[in-house]
Amino acid sequence: MKIGLVGVGKFSDDFIRLFNLHPDVEEVVLADLDENRVKRSMEKHGIKRGFASYEEMLDNAPELDSIAIFTQRHLHGPMIIEALKRGKHVYSAVPIGCTMDEIKDIVELVNKTRLIYMMGETCYYYPCAIYCREQYKKGAFGEFVYGESQYYHDICEMYDDFARSGGEHWQRVAGIPPMFYPTHSIAMTFSAIDQHALKVSCMGLRDDHSDNIYGEDKNDWQNPFSNETAIFRMSGGGVVRINEFRRVGINKPSSYITCFYGDKGAYECSVTKHTFQRGVASGERPYIEDVGGLINTIEYNEDLKNGTIDMTHDPISVKYIEGFAAIQDRERLPKTMRNTPKFSHYNSHPFLVDDFVRAVTSGKLPPNNAWDAARYMIPGLIAHESALKGGELLDIPDLGGAPEDWERITYEHKDNYEDMSKYYEVECMH
């Protein structure tokens, strides 16, 4: 396949490299409004063609069969729609779109054309999400009753992210409602139980900070909230609590599942402590198991074993979040991508690229396809509406699941975790 990547900012660099490394990708071309960013990246990655805008790339490179969108978060929807209308498969960074209309149009277009759309949800591939998804499927938790997940990213750490391409009025975009970027936290829990949200009640924290980002007259969404907390009623009857915080004194982890409870078993996490508990109703003798060997990065676990991590006062090194964890099946990746150096976001980037390329080359549905992405995004849009109405309980429109007759990408899941890594060691506290 030949792919045109638009938005050569900070985040896309890993992806340009990975698309280039993938054996099924013949050519990668770039486009950005900033000429220097295109030039630098072409030199760094040995790319032959670059364009001065998205529009110019679409008009002048008709042979591209796929487009990857890495522009600022609020710009994705219309760009995805334009590419689909021109017959291209589309990958976009999160989110899929920021309005109901955009999302509906994308789902309709994908349904009609059977082109691939995949949202690049990094957290779907996070070790804690894989763990809960696989264990839930195996029945270890029983029926889902309650879960909590969150994405915490203090706005002070993102000033530069918004200012980089946002011009002198960057604050007007930085103040986007937190629940308009909900897919990290939502995807982790919703994908694990394979259910969608029916209803929501959400509360917002009004923010009067002197950085002038949040407030009715201060941003393009008239958004007064830096933090939003939503409670969702799920289609299976359980409840999920989602936090999207942009003003909070926590640094790492940033996207994680705090707890995931079924009626027979439970997962809980505190920083790097991950435990599974077998409950009384399981019929087995209840126990607690430390599953950090599977979920923390391999390098972190090694350092923990060597005694080089001091949990009494730790500077939160990148080892917490960069690199593969034992539960991630590295062997399913093409050989060229298996031993790539560490990427941030728990090395989710190679999995994202490989799933999109597999979907395009096989015609099969990827995870985080248009229907999944809609079910991870629309609940956030409605949650924000609820927060503006003081927490009123609102119904969540559902665009349905992906068509049954569209075959999905599948992998052979390894059942025996002990085979997955020599680093897997369980501390059992029976």
Ligand X SMILES: NC(=O)c1ccc[n+]([C@@H]2O[C@H](COP(=O)([O-])OP(=O)(O)OC[C@H]3O[C@@H](n4cnc5c(N)ncnc54)[C@H](O)[C@@H]3O)[C@@H](O)[C@H]2O)c1
Cβ density class 245-275: b for 16+ within 10 Å, e for less: bbbbeeeebbbbbbbbbbebbbbbbeebebb
Question: Can residue 256 be called a binding residue for ligand X (CB under 6 A)?
Answer: no
Using CB under 6 A as the binding rule, whether residue 71 contacts ligand X is answered as yes
Structure tokens belonging to residue 13: 């660099």
Neighbours of 27 (CB within 10 A): 16
Question: Under a CB-based contact definition with an 8 Å cutoff, are residues 83 and 18 in contact?
Answer: no
Under 8 Å CB-to-CB from 313, ≥6 apart: which residues?
none
**Cβ of residue 79: shortest distance to ligand X, in angstroms?**
7
Interface with ligand X includes 10 (CB under 6 A)?
yes
Does the footprint of ligand X cover residue 75 (CB under 6 A)? Answer: yes
Q: Token pair of 411, please?
A: 């992998």
43 vs 412, beta carbon nearer ligand X:
43
Contact present, 123 and 352 (Cβ < 8 Å): no
Pick from 19, 54, 245, 256 the residue near ligand X by CB under 6 A: 54
Closer CB to ligand X, residue 12 or residue 421?
12
Q: Taking contact as CB under 6 A, which single stretch among the options 27-35, 124-132, 229-237, 267-275 is the one that binds ligand X?
A: 27-35
Token pair recorded at residue 150: 């969150």
Main-chain phi, psi angles of 365, to 5 degrees: -75, 130
Any residues with CB less than 8 A from the CB of 161 and at least 6 apart, and which? Answer: 10
CB of 24 to ligand X, least distance (A): 23
The least CB distance from residue 414 to ligand X, in Å, is: 26
CB closer to ligand X out of 228 and 289: 228
421 and 284 Cβ atoms separated by less than 8 Å: no
- Binding flag, residue 301, ligand X (CB under 6 A): no
Beta strands in 103-161 (DSSP E): 117-120, 144-152
- Regarding 73 and contact with ligand X (CB under 6 A), the answer is yes
Please identify, among the stretches 20-28, 29-37, 234-242, 385-393, the one whose residues bind ligand X according to the rule CB under 6 A.
29-37
- The answer to whether the beta carbons of residues 95 and 121 sit under 8 Å apart is no
Contact (CB, 8 A) for 80 and 71: no
Minimum CB separation of residue 423 from ligand X in Å reads 25
**Applying CB under 6 A, does 33 fall inside the site for ligand X?**
yes
Tell me the window of 1-9, 131-139, 171-179, 185-193 that interacts with ligand X (CB under 6 A).
1-9
CB of 67 to ligand X, least distance (A): 11
Task: Give the total of residues touching ligand X (CB under 6 A).
Answer: 27
What's the angle, vertex CA 10, arms to CA 324 and CA 109, rounded to 5?
85
Place of tokens 């949990």: 311
- Among 16, 94, 129, 396, indicate the residue that binds ligand X (CB under 6 A): 94
Q: What does the alpha-carbon distance between residue 263 and residue 245 come to, in Å, rounded to a whole number?
A: 29
Stretch that binds ligand X, among 26-34, 218-226, 313-321, 322-330 (CB under 6 A): 26-34
Tell me how far, at minimum, the Cβ of 195 lies from ligand X, in Å: 22
CB of 258 to ligand X, least distance (A): 19
Residue 11 binds ligand X (CB under 6 A): yes
Among 12, 135, 282, 386, which residue interacts with ligand X (rule: CB under 6 A)? Answer: 12
Q: Are 319 and 300 in contact (CB under 8 A)?
A: yes
Helix (H, G, I), strand (E, B), or coil: what is residue 153?
Answer: coil
- Are 64 and 39 in contact, with CB atoms under 8 Å apart? no
Task: Choose one: 28-36, 100-108, 235-243, 311-319; the region binding ligand X (CB under 6 A).
Answer: 28-36
Q: Which CB atom, from 156 or from 280, has the smaller least distance to ligand X?
A: 156
Segment 119 to 158, residues that bind ligand X, using CB under 6 A = 120, 122
**Contact between 8 and ligand X per CB under 6 A:** yes
**Cβ neighbours around 128 below 10 Å, total:** 28
β-strand partners of 28: 3
Residues making contact with ligand X (CB under 6 A): 6-12, 31-34, 37, 53-54, 70-73, 75, 93-94, 120, 122, 161, 164-165, 345
